[in-house]
Amino acid sequence: MAAVLSTAPAGAQYNGDPGEPNPHTQPAPNRRDIIIYRDPFAYCSHASIVRLSNGEWVTAFNECQRTTPYTHPPGDPHFHNLISRSDDEGRTWSPPEAAPNWDWYGVECPGLAQLRDGTVVLNQWQFLWYPLAQGRKLASQGKQIWLRTSRDKGWLPAASDSDFDRSLYTWARANGGCYVHLSSDGGRTWDRTAQIPTEPYMGGYTPRGVTQLQDGSVLMVTADHPLNHTAYAVRSQDGGLTWTRPVAVAKAEEGYISEPTAVVLPSGKVVAIMRSSTRYLHQSESSDDGSTWTPVRKTRVWGYPGHLLHLSDGRLLVTYGHRRSPFGIRACQSRDGGQTWDYEQEFLIRGDFPNRNLGYPVTIEYRPGHLFTIYYGEEPDGVTSIRGSYWEIPG
- C-alpha 215: how far from its chain's center? 25
Pairing assessment for the beta strands 211-212 and 192-196 based on DSSP bridges: unpaired
| Contact criterion met (CB below 8 Å) for 58 and 52 | yes
Q: Tell me, what's the pLDDT at 19?
A: 58
Alpha-carbon gap, residue 160 to 110, rounded angstroms: 33
CA angle 1, 16, 371 (to 5 degrees): 45
Q: Determine how many CB atoms are found less than 10 A away from the CB of residue 140.
A: 11
Q: Is the dihedral of CA 29, 321, 293, 176 positive or negative?
A: negative
Q: Which CATH architecture is the domain 26-129+179-392 placed in?
A: 6 Propeller (2.120)
Q: Determine how many CB atoms are found less than 10 A away from the CB of residue 269.
A: 16
* Element at 358 (helix H, strand E): strand 358-367
Q: What is the pLDDT of residues 12-58, one digit of tens each?
A: 455 556 557 788 899 999 999 999 999 999 999 999 999 999 999 99
Q: Which 3 state secondary structure label does DSSP give 165?
A: helix
Alpha-carbon gap, residue 154 to 146, rounded angstroms: 10
Q: Which amino acid is at 101?
A: N
Cis peptide leading into residue 197 (ω within 30°):
no
Instruction: State the SS3 of 230-279.
Output: EEEEEEECCCCCCCCCCEEEEECCCCCEEEEEEEECCCCCEEEEEEECCC
Q: Which amino acid is at 277?
A: S
Half-sphere exposure of 270 (CA within 13 A, CB side): 27
Tens of pLDDT along the chain (395 residues) come to: 222 222 233 334 555 565 577 888 999 999 999 999 999 999 999 999 999 999 999 999 999 999 988 998 999 999 999 999 999 999 999 999 999 999 999 999 999 999 999 999 999 999 999 999 999 999 999 999 999 999 988 999 999 999 999 999 999 999 999 999 999 999 999 999 999 999 999 889 999 999 999 999 999 999 998 888 999 999 999 999 999 999 999 999 889 999 999 999 999 999 999 999 999 999 999 999 999 999 999 999 999 999 999 999 999 999 999 999 999 999 999 999 999 999 999 999 999 999 999 999 999 999 999 999 999 999 999 999 999 999 999 98
Alpha-carbon gap, residue 269 to 394, rounded angstroms: 25
| Contact criterion met (CB below 8 Å) for 374 and 387 | yes
